[in-house]
Homo-oligomer: A and B are copies of this chain.
Amino acid sequence: MANLSEFELIDQYFGGQIASYGVNLGIGDDCALLTVPQGRQLAVSIDTLIGGSHFPKNADPELIAERALRVSISDLAAMGADPMWMTLAITLPSAESQWLAGFSRGLFRSAEEFNISLVGGDTTRGPLAVTLQVHGSVEPEKAMLRSEARVGDIVFVTGTVGDGAAALAVIKKELEVGKSAFSYFMSRYYTPKIQIRPMRALADVSRCAIDISDGLLADLGHICNASGVGAVIEAERLPLSDPLRKLTDSETALNWALAGGDDYQVCFTVSPNKIARLEELQEQHQIECTAIGEIVRGKDCVCLSEGRVVVPERTGYKHF
Contacts and interface: CB of A to CB of B under 8 A. Distances in A.
A2 B41 contact: no
Nearest to A134: B31
Interface string A104-129: 00000000000000011111111101
Contacts of A33: 41-43, 79, 138, 143
Contacts of A30: 45, 74-76, 78-79, 146, 209-211
Given A91-B129, A320-B4, A31 B124 contact: no
Interface residues of A, number: 74
A34 B29 contact: no
A187 interface: no
B79 A124 contact: no
A135 B226 CA distance: 26
Task: Give the one of A24, A35, A48, A143 with max B CB within 10 A.
Answer: A48
Task: Give the one of A54, A87, A320 with max B CB within 10 A.
Answer: A320
A103 to B, nearest CB: 14
Contacts of A119: 44
A126 B123 contact: no
Given A129-B91, A145-B25, A136 B48 contact: no
B48 A124 contact: yes
B95 A320 contact: yes
Contacts of A32: 43-45
Interface of A: 2-7, 9, 24-25, 28-36, 38, 41-50, 52-54, 74-76, 78-79, 81, 85, 87-89, 91-92, 94-95, 119-127, 129, 131, 133, 135-136, 138, 140, 143, 145-147, 209-211, 222, 226, 318-320
Nearest to A125: B319
A104 to B, nearest CB: 15
Contact of A125 (B79, B88, B320): B320
A50 to B, nearest CB: 4
A61 to B, nearest CB: 16
